[in-house]
Amino acid sequence: KDRLKQKSVVIPTTPTTPAIKHRLWPEINRITLEQLHYARLGVGAGSWQLFAEDGDMRMYRREEEANGLVVDPLKACHVVKGVTGHEVCKIFFSPEYRSGWEATLEDMTVIENISKDTLVFLQTHKRIWPASQRDALFWSHMRKVPDAQDLWIACNHSTEHADYPPNAGKCVRVYLTVCLVCQTLIDPPKQNELIKREDITCKITYCSVVNPGGWAPASVLRAVYKREYPKFLKRFTNFCIDQCKDKPIVF
């Protein structure tokens, strides 16, 4: 009894992942927190233009260029029933599911396994005519947000690796910063053990900035992303629903 009295609950304010020892950790932590803040701002501030809408899904973009290349930032929100934020972020992050939902993917390799919540990926994507094929090399990190109710983030950000220099083969390297922020809502409010999938809803915010890295015609690029981003978010969320149904809920 006395021993129990002495026990105190320690709530970590900084993540306890072994990834904190990695050389990339300061950047991973900073970009993840920045992206979380940016996603939570919503589309109220800034001049976001709605470009796609389907059911609960809304997609906004801002037309921007950098050195003559289209780099339009994208912000999307969606509401999905029957899955938790943890489940959705896990599926977005984990390599084993990627080919099940990522339609533009040609190939994917994990080039560094930093920890179970932090990986480095090299991906090649399908070619868009008349531009060169693209690849992307990025770290990916997922975590639960402390001091918030059932809030999770997965964040991807381009990095470098001496063994995989950019633009060495047939691919032009793209540079990306992407985040997926998910919150689980429970209605009606219940104790954990009584919650069914029909009582849960996942509120998703997806933000993305992709720099094409080299020449690609602006009109083709805008036409491609207007088609591909809605396709991605619908396909990805349907994939999550399908993966999770009939499985125990993971909060």
Summarize as ranges the residues that interact with ligand 16C (CB under 6 A).
102, 104, 123, 125-126, 128, 131, 134, 136, 156, 174, 176, 178, 208, 210, 212, 216, 221, 224-225, 228-229, 232
Parallel/antiparallel/unpaired status of strands 134-144 and 172-173: parallel
Measured from the CB atom, the residue of 130 and 189 that comes closer to ligand 16C is 130
What is the per-residue DSSP string for 62-100? Answer: ---EETTEE---EEEEEEEET--HHHHHHHHH-HHHHHH
* Separation of alpha carbons 6 and 89, rounded Å: 36
Measured from the CB atom, the residue of 106 and 199 that comes closer to ligand 16C is 106
- Shortest gap between Cβ of 226 and ligand 16C (angstroms)? 9
**Phi/psi at 202 (nearest 5 deg)?**
-115, 125
User: Cis link prior to 166 (omega < 30° from 0)?
Assistant: no
75 neighbors 238 (Cβ within 8 angstroms): no
Measured from the CB atom, the residue of 33 and 108 that comes closer to ligand 16C is 108
- Shortest gap between Cβ of 126 and ligand 16C (angstroms)? 4
- Shortest gap between Cβ of 159 and ligand 16C (angstroms)? 13
- Shortest gap between Cβ of 156 and ligand 16C (angstroms)? 4
Query: Per residue, what are the HEC states of 181-225?
Result: EEEEEECCCCCHHHCCHHHEEEEEEEEEEEECCCCCCHHHHHHHH
Measured from the CB atom, the residue of 71 and 186 that comes closer to ligand 16C is 71
- Shortest gap between Cβ of 229 and ligand 16C (angstroms)? 5
Measured from the CB atom, the residue of 104 and 115 that comes closer to ligand 16C is 104
Residue nearest to ligand 16C as judged by C-beta position: 228
* Separation of alpha carbons 158 and 176, rounded Å: 5
Q: What share of the chain is helix, strand, coil (3-state, %, to 5)?
A: 30, 35, 35
Amino acid at 21: K
- Shortest gap between Cβ of 165 and ligand 16C (angstroms)? 18
Measured from the CB atom, the residue of 85 and 212 that comes closer to ligand 16C is 212
